[in-house]
């Protein structure tokens, strides 16, 4: 079953169909909570609601793969680390992520989060069923979203002739909009660019999954450690325009530059040689 599902390589148009499946199902599941009579009643767990939201997209992908024969050039997980040992790359991921978040923070924090949304996020993360929220946010979401947005959409667009850069951008935009609110969409798009790039370079689905787990776990940890701080609080806002902040920002740029050089030089050779795709 999974082999059939993972053979599906959607075009950009089919990727938008997958996107619509998620949005429509998520909207339907959220409708009952808009009525006053059921607003304070937990009808369905966060975990189950999330599974039900993404399931139609995977069902559509499986049905398409069942009806049509797909012969993808790359498997959904076809790791290539070149001359860089996998353990070294995975050890670098936390540093790459934190540096990337610091450098992209001015753009990701462009929108101010409303107080009601901030309270909603914190109540979900710190409520009675916090364990369910953690399971969904830190484990389930990274795995399912990376399989959908990178393993299927990004790989599918590249297989169908999209230039890798365009495929990474499109998959990131879809990934961001899937969050269905503007305050999470912009940060998600920016993080999606990193996840897509790392997946394209390594062809290892576990690389973006681990990055995604680290990103979501970091956000959840900050909720628990600093519940009084607004969710849209920035690193610069907490430290201020001090020499320490600008030094950390400069170090982050250096970390990203060194990481890019390392990945391009040691990991990306096979992709550059084998990917003969027109823009």
Each residue's pLDDT tens digit, 120-153: 777 766 666 778 888 889 999 999 999 999 999 9
Report how far residue 240's alpha carbon sits from residue 139's, in angstroms, rounded to the nearest whole number: 33
Asked if pLDDT for residue 227 goes beyond 90, the answer is no
Q: What is the 3-state secondary structure (H, E, C) of 195-235?
A: HHHHHHHHCCCHHHHHHHHHHHHHHHHHHHHCCCCCCCCCH
Report how far residue 58's alpha carbon sits from residue 22's, in angstroms, rounded to the nearest whole number: 9
Q: What is the mean pLDDT of residues 192-215?
A: 97
User: How far is C-alpha 136 from the geometric centre of its chain's CA atoms?
Assistant: 13
Q: What is the mean pLDDT of residues 53-60?
A: 95
Asked if pLDDT for residue 273 goes beyond 60, the answer is no
Per-residue confidence (pLDDT) for residue 99, from 0 to 100: 97
- Whole-angstrom CA distances from 97 to 100, 189, 210, 229 are 5, 14, 10, 22
- Whole-angstrom CA distances from 41 to 38, 48, 279 are 5, 15, 50
Per-residue confidence (pLDDT) for residue 261, from 0 to 100: 94
Query: Percent of the chain, pLDDT > 90?
Result: 59
- Radius of gyration (C-alpha) of the chain in whole angstroms: 19
Q: What is the mean pLDDT of residues 263-268?
A: 86
pLDDT tens-digit map of 245-263: 999 999 999 999 999 999 9
For 114, which DSSP code?
A: P
pLDDT tens-digit map of 161-202: 999 999 999 999 999 999 988 888 999 999 999 999 999 999
Say if CB 174 and CB 149 are below 8 A apart.
Answer: yes
- Whole-angstrom CA distances from 11 to 1, 155, 171 are 21, 9, 11
Say if CB 252 and CB 103 are below 8 A apart.
Answer: yes
Q: Is residue 278 very low, low, confident or very high in pLDDT (cuts 50, 70, 90)?
A: very low
Place of tokens 């938008």: 16
For 8, which DSSP code?
A: -
- Whole-angstrom CA distances from 117 to 110, 120, 121, 228, 266 are 16, 5, 6, 14, 43
Segment (H or E) for 67 = helix 46-67
Q: What is the largest CA-CA distance in the chain?
A: 60
**In this structure, is the dihedral angle defined by the CA atoms of residues 122, 140, 10 and 53, taken in order, positive or negative?**
negative
Closest CA to 52 of 80, 82, 32, 78: 32
Instruction: Pull the structure tokens for residue 105.
Output: 């923070």
Say if CB 276 and CB 163 are below 8 A apart.
Answer: no
Per-residue confidence (pLDDT) for residue 40, from 0 to 100: 45
Q: What is the mean pLDDT of residues 4-18?
A: 95
Q: What is the mean pLDDT of residues 262-273?
A: 75
Residues 6+ apart with CB under 8 A from 5: 58, 61, 62, 65
């Amino acid at each position: 079953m999974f082999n059939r599902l993972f053979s599906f390589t959607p075009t950009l148009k089919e990727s938008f169909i997958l996107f619509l499946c998620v949005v429509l199902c998520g909207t339907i599941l959220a409708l009952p909570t808009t009525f006053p009579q059921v607003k304070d009643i937990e009808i369905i767990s966060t975990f189950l609601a999330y599974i039900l939201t993404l399931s139609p997209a995977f069902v559509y992908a499986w049905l398409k793969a069942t009806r049509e024969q797909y012969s993808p050039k790359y498997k959904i997980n076809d790791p290539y680390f070149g001359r860089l040992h996998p353990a070294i790359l995975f050890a670098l991921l936390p540093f790459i992520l934190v540096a990337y978040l610091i450098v992209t923070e001015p753009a990701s924090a462009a929108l101010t989060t409303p107080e009601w949304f901030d309270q909603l996020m914190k109540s979900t993360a710190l409520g009675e069923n916090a364990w369910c929220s953690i399971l969904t946010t830190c484990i389930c979401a990274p795995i399912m979203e990376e399989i959908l947005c990178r393993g299927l959409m990004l790989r599918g667009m590249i297989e169908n002739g999209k230039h890798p850069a365009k495929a990474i951008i499109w998959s990131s935009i879809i990934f961001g909009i899937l969050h269905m609110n503007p305050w999470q969409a912009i940060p998600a798009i920016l993080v999606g660019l990193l996840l897509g790039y790392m997946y394209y370079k390594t062809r290892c689905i576990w690389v973006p999954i681990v990055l995604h787990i680290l990103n979501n776990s970091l956000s959840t940890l900050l909720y628990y450690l600093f519940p009084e701080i607004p969710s849209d609080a920035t690193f610069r806002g907490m430290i201020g325009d001090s020499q320490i902040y600008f030094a950390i920002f400069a170090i982050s740029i250096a970390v990203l530059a060194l990481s890019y050089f390392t990945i391009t030089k040691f990991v990306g050779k096979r992709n550059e040689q084998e990917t003969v795709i027109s823009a």
